[in-house]
Amino acid sequence: MHHGSGLRDEDLMRHLADLVARSYEGAASWPDRLAVFHRAVELLDPVVRAVFAEANTTFLENTGEITRRSTEQDDGSVGEHWELSWPRQRAAISRHGGPVPPVQVIAWFRRSFNHAHLRGSTAGDWPLQVVDTDDAERQLPIVRAIVEAELHQRIYEGRYPVMPVAVRKYGLPPG
Query: Which amino acid is residue 132, in one-letter code?
Result: D
- Domain residues for the domain of 43 are 9-168
Per-residue pLDDT tens digits for 62-119 = 999 999 999 999 999 999 999 999 999 999 999 999 999 999 999 999 999 999 999 9
Query: Which amino acid is residue 137, in one-letter code?
Result: E
Per-residue pLDDT tens digits for 148-164 = 999 999 999 999 999 99
Residue 68 lies in a domain: yes
Query: Which amino acid is residue 9, in one-letter code?
Result: D
Residue 73 lies in a domain: yes
Residue 85 lies in a domain: yes
Residue 2 lies in a domain: no
- State percent of the chain over pLDDT 70: 95
Residue 174 lies in a domain: no
Residue 3 lies in a domain: no
Residue 129 lies in a domain: yes
pLDDT of residue 20: 96
pLDDT of residue 150: 97
Q: Which residues contact 101 (CB under 8 A, 6 or more apart)?
A: 89, 121, 154, 157
Q: How many structural domains does the chain have?
A: 1
pTM: 0.92
Closest CA to 68 of 56, 55, 85: 85
Residue 94 lies in a domain: yes
pLDDT of residue 175: 67
